[in-house]
Amino acid sequence: MTSIAVSSQKGGVGKTTLSINLAHAFARVGVRTLLVDADPQGSVGHSLTRQSRLLSGFYDFLLDPSLPLEPLMVATRLPTFSLMAAGRASEYDVGGNGSHLARVRAFLRGVAASGIQICLIDTAAGLFGISGDVVAACDAILIPQQAEPLGIRSVPKLLEELDRLRITNPRLNVLGVCLSMVQADLPESRGVAAALRQVLPPGWVCETQIPRDALFVRASARGLPIGALEEGAAVQALFDALRDELAAKLSHHAG
Ligand SMILES: Nc1ncnc2c1ncn2[C@@H]1O[C@H](COP(=O)(O)OP(=O)(O)OP(=O)(O)O)[C@@H](O)[C@H]1O
Ligand SMILES: [Mg+2]
């Protein structure tokens, strides 16, 4: 199994949107995929399942690691795609660096034992506390970044925090930064990719970019990945391209 944390320092950069649609892209080509909501606010559950507040999930397992994992996995219409809600996050102390590592690792071992091939974890913003420990326990991290010039200013801090997490997890595979909400009609937005390539290590900026598109709002209002909308095929093709790009990076890293 490969575990991928979808994380960022900043909030509202498109983590949840990317997680849902990328997970769907893996699942639709037959990869057994689990999308885990590790955001205490429960955003994945919120967008994809109406009764998510009632579901047990990730934090229930952290509270009680003797819980069996399979009943926490919610089936979707795609047999290869399952979800895990955040669950009872309000009863779990999400603070402190390193204090969750053992439990998150036990969680990932359990998920791997259930036959899942890709485990995508949508985290809350920030690379500290539980979100930092999820990254430090995962095989890889994918970092969405909003395609706005201001975002570039936070890059030095991002690199610093990743260095800190790599002390705990030297094998962490940085899949890179994926630009989200790109506005192709604005030169300022188009220019962000080039500017990021100058300040990030070679190969970190993903070739695939996610455009700003009203369809994302429509899909999330209906509780669906974009590819499940009739008009979503073109955007789904981008997530398929991102999936293939990341799969190549993962196999390169492994080999
Ligand atoms: N490519 C896009 N085009 C248009 N709207 C988008 C796009 N990506 C995300 N959004 C919208 O932007 C908002 C923030 O996106 P999202 O919730 O995915 O970010 P996040 O990083 O998970 O936020 P948080 O840090 O709060 O968890 C949402 O309302 C979402 O619908
Ligand atoms: Mg989110």
Q: Is the CB of 80 under 6 A from ligand 1?
A: no
Number of the ligand 1 atom closest to the C-alpha atom of 213: 3
Sign of CA pseudo-dihedral 195, 254, 105, 165: negative
Q: Is the CB of 17 under 6 A from ligand 1?
A: yes
Q: Is the CB of 43 under 6 A from ligand 1?
A: yes
Rounded Cα–Cα distance for residues 119 and 111 (Å): 8
CA distances from 58 to 75, 180, 188, 210, 218 (A): 15, 26, 39, 28, 27
Dig out the tokens for 92 from the structure: 């779990």
Task: Determine the pLDDT at residue 220.
Answer: 84
Lowest mean pLDDT segment, chosen from 48-57, 114-123, 147-156: 48-57
pLDDT in tens, 56-99: 999 999 999 999 999 999 999 999 999 999 999 999 999 999 99
Q: Is the CB of 216 under 6 A from ligand 1?
A: yes
Number of the ligand 1 atom closest to the C-alpha atom of 220: 31
Are the beta carbons of 6 and 19 closer than 8 angstroms?
A: yes
Alpha carbon 189 to chain centroid, angstroms: 23
Q: Is the CB of 16 under 6 A from ligand 1?
A: yes
Domain 2-142+213-254 has CATH 3.40.50.300: yes
Confidence of residue 253 (pLDDT cuts 50, 70, 90): confident
CB neighbours of 197 closer than 8 A, spacing ≥ 6? 205
pLDDT in tens, 191-237: 999 999 999 999 999 999 999 999 999 998 888 899 999 999 999 99
Q: How far apart are the CA of 14 and the centre of ligand 1, in A?
A: 4
Confidence of residue 149 (pLDDT cuts 50, 70, 90): confident
Regarding predicted confidence, which is higher, 49 or 42?
A: 42
Q: Is the CB of 145 under 6 A from ligand 1?
A: no
Number of the ligand 1 atom closest to the C-alpha atom of 41: 27
Question: What's the number of CA atoms in the CB half-sphere (13 Å) around residue 81?
Answer: 18
Task: Determine the pLDDT at residue 164.
Answer: 96
Please tell me the pTM assigned to this model. 0.96
Rounded Cα–Cα distance for residues 169 and 5 (Å): 13
Q: Is the pLDDT of residue 55 over 90?
A: no
Q: How far apart are the CA of 12 and the centre of ligand 1, in A?
A: 5
Number of the ligand 1 atom closest to the C-alpha atom of 212: 3
Dig out the tokens for 196 from the structure: 């990021």
Task: Determine the pLDDT at residue 48.
Answer: 64
Dig out the tokens for 101 from the structure: 């590592």
Domain limits of the chain?
A: 2-142+213-254
Determine the length of the chain: 255
Q: Is the pLDDT of residue 50 over 70?
A: no
CA distances from 219 to 14, 79, 110, 126, 156 (A): 14, 20, 31, 26, 34
Confidence of residue 47 (pLDDT cuts 50, 70, 90): low
Closest CA to 81 of 123, 29, 124, 37: 29
Are the beta carbons of 74 and 45 closer than 8 angstroms?
A: no
SS3 content of the chain, % helix, strand, coil (to 5): 50, 15, 35
Paired sense of beta strands 74-75 and 81-84, if any: antiparallel
